[in-house]
Structure 1
Amino acid sequence: MIEQRERQSMSRIQGAIEMWICLTDSFVSVVQDGNDLNRMVVRGRRKEHLQALFPEREILLTPDADYVARILVTREEFASLVNRRITEITYDNFKGSVADPALHDLYADFWSLHRRYQENGGQRDRSGHFAWGPGDIQFTPKV
């Protein structure tokens, strides 16, 4: 059972540096545990993604948080998992290796955003954005 102190640690991570990891069967965000420098909080948008990575571990459901599921692991445990997954790569096209259609679509959208970022030299592309910022609208006086 996840203790109260661990629940608090998993829900309030301040000043954390995140790592997003896209795997063929899961998408997770990883941050350092705010109470223990040797632990990581692995967060998933779907509980099933954490179950795929850590089938024997208890998962804390956080439906009102930015990520719906979380798990605590040691740095070594997480590093071992990532290392193992790297050595198991056999595909030559990542998106083509993703079986879950919804996860594939997430990655395809992510790929498109990154491609646009690459093509515009890292400049913000606000076309299609729902809000306007300074300099987004220019008025031309009538002549």
Structure 2
Amino acid sequence: MDLLISYHRTLVEGLLLVLLLNLVLPWILRGHPARRIFYTRIGYFAFWAFWAMTVFSGLIVWIFAGRPVSLPILVMLGVMILLPMLDGYRAIRLRRLWLEEKDGLGFHTLIVLLEILAVVATILVSIFLK
């Protein structure tokens, strides 16, 4: 069981790292629109890969631990639903902004910061409300 929990924790850390890279890379590549769009799209794929692995491992840990539904589990399930909704909204909105020849960095930063905040809040809830 400890191995499953450590694997899930490693995936959550990887998801946070991908979110931080998604936050920083567009600002680094601000002067190169084509490169920024390219790396933003790669960031989408990395986000979805880590999100899927994290959700799957979390559900496996929850099933094998046999724990009842508690507040930390509900928060994790809520964030599991919230993250793809925010990321999908970000992708659709950024595409519209790019087609209008606008930068969209402020909007991108806001959404990614909300995603990071949701993941960090989930980690804090799971630590302090065991």
Same fold? TM cut 0.5: no
Identify the structure with bigger relative contact order (alpha carbons < 8 Å, sequence gap 6+): 2
Q: If each structure's strand is expressed as a fraction of its own residues, which one has the higher value?
A: 1
User: Normalization by structure 1: what TM-score?
Assistant: 0.26
User: Normalization by structure 2: what TM-score?
Assistant: 0.28
Which is greater in Rg?
Answer: 1
Q: If each structure's helix is expressed as a fraction of its own residues, which one has the higher value?
A: 2
